Amino acid sequence: SDMLHTICSSSPTPTILILKNPQSLSPSPRLEELREENARLKYRLNILKRSLEEERTHCTKSMMNINQRLQEIFGEAIRASCPDLDNPPLAVTPNQQPKFGDYQCNSAMAMAQMLKTQGVKANPREIAQKIIQNLPDNELIQKTEIAGPGFINIHLKRMFVSKLLTNLLINGVQPPPLASRKKVVVDFSSPNIAKEMHVGHLRSTIIGDSMCRLFEFLGYDVLRLNHVGDWGTQFGMLIAHLQDKFPDYLTVSPPIGDLQAFYKESKKRFDEEEDFKRRAYQCVVRLQSKEPDFIKAWNLICDVSRKEFQKVYDCLDIQIIERGESYYQDMMTEAVKEFEERGLVQQDEGRKIVFAPGQPIPLTVVKSDGGYTYDTSDLAALRQRLFEEKADVIIYVTDSGQGTHFQVVFAAAQMIGWYDPQVTRVEHAGFGVVLGEDKKKFKTRSGDTVRLMDLLEEGLKRSMDKLKDKERDKVLTPEELIKAQRAVAFGCIKYADLSHNRINDYVFSFDKMLDDRGNTAAYLLYAFTRIRSIARLANIDEATLRKAAETTEVLLDHEKEWKLGKCILRFPEILQKILDDLLLHTLCDYLYELATTFTEFYDNCYCVEKDRQTGEVVKVNMWRMLLCEATAAIMAKGFDILGLKPVQRM
């Protein structure tokens, strides 16, 4: 306006002459100030942009989350195009159909809806156009186009994708940079002493272990806890029975071979013999007052169980720290006292109960006989994990049936101010029941609970039969055969569980899990071994591949190369999604998609060209060998997170 003012007030000289001779324009001092201010801001902005870019290239060892990067870019454009919208929706997803580009931003339609509710008429296509005009300069978008009612299709630069693949090949599969190293506690497995581990414990063990592996790969400080049931009234009858059956248990280690049978014997006596029942109660009291002989008896019983549990953990390669209910005994008293001091405890027919706001049932923190409950020990454990372990994330992996219980415990902890859910993530990751092939609860023919070790033994037997059917015993050494047997057996049991949405019930079927067609560990392990063998059969060693990664550009001209390259790079997005919802089947689905995408690529693109007559290698397409390598690297890391152990030869 200053300039216009200068132009308009300078008659009698014709305006046109002034415009022809701009030197005669005298800008106002205010305009000069603004220009200087603008230049300063631009300079600072460029410095910030440069340091951001440097930071990005600094972190290039990590894999880039392309989806997240696109969300940053589109988030900026959306805010610039509709500054009046509070919290505008940001939706960027990979495109299912390649003809529509690689990713898609679907925010325009939702933004038009939001504006409509504010009484502003808006056309989604026009909003999409505005978003595109406001896209900041970036390193990854080749072009955008608007489709249908306002979808924005995004095409990535091939060169950019190629560089990311080279980075992956040189640096290996690196996790994205962590803002801060958080402390994560995962409470999983948690069987009961003196009772069999059953398939429910198997699910908790497999799912919990995989969650820990994911957090560990991402760089968190993870504490894996086994909250075993090692305290309570049942120990009274077990100790009383131990004293009768092995009177010299303090000096001679009692040969309890079958703890289940021992438990059943003591339970029978407890139900039938009044005198025994009375003694059992006295034993509980003496154990709780920590009399040495009773602590020794308790330890003996716990040790027998521990050895049994450890056999299962060894098979499945599980690392876990035992910290049972007994660990929290003294802390329970403190937790109850804290609730009482805050006036949050009510009396109910001799019991002490706590109501948490909005919850359907109260917690019983002290029974009418003065004893504590599961509610008390879970409150004490949560308090210890928050204040002593200083956990930022606490995850409980138990069956969905305990969902309400944990919901009430968490609500009570928030009510008393132990944690703020905006700051600390405390979550119950529930799972469904294991069913037999008849879709009923998983049991043996005689209706008993299936012993886990029997189940694992059966898996080993079946996997050996499978390998022999494929005549692998004729080509593998005895050591290789055993390795393959264990990899297939335990890998299949884990993968069958993890590949189903944990929230649903799941049907346990050896036939399905050992099938090498479809989304199974058997198929993926074979696919991986095959990919790994491509370079070996072409006589290309690791050193050659490493050198090629640094010197050969990964070409992505063929549509199947392009599809595979993009699929490989979606790995960080997949991990981010699982971090948000703790649903591991997403990773299984992704690995299956990666394996099938690789097969398409391998069937259409020659990696190694051989002479038809002699079978000699005539030509190696090195950039395609690198795509094989990148696929195998991602699969290996995915297997590692799922707890699967691939073998070199199968």
Q: How many CB atoms lie within 10 A of CB 13?
A: 11
DSSP-assigned states of every residue in 126-177:
HHHHHHHHTPPP-SSEEEEEEETTTEEEEEE-HHHHHHHHHHHHHH-S-PPP
Would strands 351-354 and 141-147 be described as parallel, antiparallel, or unpaired? unpaired
CA dist list (Å): 617 to 537, 542, 607, 623, 625: 10, 18, 11, 16, 14
Q: Where are the alpha helices (DSSP H) in 172-291?
A: 199-217, 234-245, 259-272, 274-288
pLDDT number for residue 4: 38
pLDDT bucket at 196, cuts 50 / 70 / 90: confident
What digits encode the pLDDT tens for the residues 359-368?
999 999 999 9
Beta bridge partners of 346: 353
pLDDT number for residue 9: 41
pLDDT bucket at 10, cuts 50 / 70 / 90: very low
> Which single residue is written with the structure tokens 């299709």?
153
What digits encode the pLDDT tens for the residues 304-349?
999 999 999 999 999 999 999 999 999 999 999 999 999 999 999 9
What is the average per-residue pLDDT within 135-142?
Answer: 95
> Which single residue is written with the structure tokens 């609970």?
449
Spell out the SS3 assignment of 215-239. Answer: HHHCCCEEEEEECCECCCCHHHHHH
* Residues whose CB falls within 8 Å of the CB of residue 540, separated by 6 or more in sequence, listed in order: 620, 625
User: How is the chain split into domains, by residue range?
Assistant: 66-156, 233-305, 452-642
Q: How many CB atoms lie within 10 A of CB 24?
A: 12
User: Is the pLDDT assigned to residue 289 strictly greater than 80?
Assistant: yes
% of the chain surpassing 70 pLDDT: 94
532: phi then psi, degrees, rounded to nearest 5: -65, -25
Element (H, E) at 348: strand 346-348
CATH number of 452-642: 1.10.730.10
Q: Count how many Cα atoms sit within 13 Å of the Cα of residue 208 in the half-sphere of its side chain.
A: 35
User: Is the pLDDT assigned to residue 136 strictly greater than 50?
Assistant: yes
Letter string b/e over residues 352-377, b meaning 16 or more CB atoms within 10 A of that residue's CB: bbbbbeebeebbbbbeeeeebbebbb
* Residues whose CB falls within 8 Å of the CB of residue 107, separated by 6 or more in sequence, listed in order: 74, 78, 88, 89, 90, 91, 131, 152
% of the chain surpassing 90 pLDDT: 79
pLDDT bucket at 6, cuts 50 / 70 / 90: very low
> Which single residue is written with the structure tokens 């038809």?
612
* Distance in angstroms (rounded) separating the CA atoms of residues 303 and 295: 12
SS3 (DSSP) at 648 = coil
Q: How many CB atoms lie within 10 A of CB 26?
A: 8
What digits encode the pLDDT tens for the residues 422-453?
999 999 999 999 999 988 888 877 777 788 99
Beta bridge partners of 366: 352
pLDDT number for residue 12: 45
> Which single residue is written with the structure tokens 């990919």?
531
SS3 (DSSP) at 620 = strand
| Mean pLDDT for all residues in the chain | 91
Contact status, residue 308 vs residue 257, Cβ threshold 8 Å: no
> Which single residue is written with the structure tokens 């131990």?
242
427: phi then psi, degrees, rounded to nearest 5: -145, 145
Task: Give me the amino acid identity at 320.
Answer: I
CA dist list (Å): 393 to 185, 211, 436, 576: 6, 12, 34, 15
* Distance in angstroms (rounded) separating the CA atoms of residues 270 and 158: 73
User: Is the pLDDT assigned to residue 60 strictly greater than 80?
Assistant: no
What is the average per-residue pLDDT within 232-238?
Answer: 91
pLDDT number for residue 50: 66
143: phi then psi, degrees, rounded to nearest 5: -160, 160
pTM, rounded to two decimals: 0.88
Q: Count how many Cα atoms sit within 13 Å of the Cα of residue 50 in the half-sphere of its side chain.
A: 6
* Distance in angstroms (rounded) separating the CA atoms of residues 489 and 496: 11
Q: How many helices (H) and strands (E) does the chain have?
A: 24, 16
What is the average per-residue pLDDT within 387-401?
Answer: 98
254: phi then psi, degrees, rounded to nearest 5: -70, 135
pLDDT number for residue 316: 97
What is the average per-residue pLDDT within 573-598?
Answer: 98
Q: How many CB atoms lie within 10 A of CB 327?
A: 18
Is the omega angle on the peptide bond into residue 12 within 30 degrees of 0, that is, cis?
yes
User: Is the pLDDT assigned to residue 146 strictly greater than 50?
Assistant: yes
pLDDT number for residue 25: 56
What digits encode the pLDDT tens for the residues 602-632?
999 999 988 889 888 889 999 999 999 999 9
232: phi then psi, degrees, rounded to nearest 5: 135, 180
Tell me, yes or no, if the two domains 66-156 and 452-642 fold the same way: no
| Dihedral over Cα of 586, 591, 592, 593: its sign | positive
Would strands 141-147 and 151-156 be described as parallel, antiparallel, or unpaired? antiparallel
Q: Which of 187, 173, 198, 261 is nearest to 228 (CA)?
A: 187
User: Is the pLDDT assigned to residue 648 strictly greater than 90?
Assistant: no
Q: Please count the residues of the chain.
A: 650
* Distance in angstroms (rounded) separating the CA atoms of residues 258 and 424: 43
User: Is the pLDDT assigned to residue 17 strictly greater than 80?
Assistant: no
Task: Give me the amino acid identity at 336.
Answer: V
What digits encode the pLDDT tens for the residues 374-386?
999 999 999 999 9
What digits encode the pLDDT tens for the residues 108-127?
999 999 999 999 999 999 99
DSSP state of 192: B
* Distance in angstroms (rounded) separating the CA atoms of residues 546 and 568: 18
What is the average per-residue pLDDT within 460-472?
Answer: 94
DSSP state of 516: S
pLDDT number for residue 2: 45
* Residues whose CB falls within 8 Å of the CB of residue 22, separated by 6 or more in sequence, listed in order: none
Contact status, residue 384 vs residue 306, Cβ threshold 8 Å: no
User: Is the pLDDT assigned to residue 468 strictly greater than 60?
Assistant: yes
User: Is the pLDDT assigned to residue 413 strictly greater than 80?
Assistant: yes
Q: How many CB atoms lie within 10 A of CB 191?
A: 24
* Distance in angstroms (rounded) separating the CA atoms of residues 154 and 101: 5
What is the average per-residue pLDDT within 474-494?
Answer: 95
DSSP state of 23: G
Residue 362 in tokens:
């109260």
User: Is the pLDDT assigned to residue 130 strictly greater than 80?
Assistant: yes
* Residue scoring higher pLDDT (251 or 75): 75
pLDDT bucket at 14, cuts 50 / 70 / 90: low
The domain made up of 66-156 has a fold known as Gyrase A; domain 2 (3.30.1360)
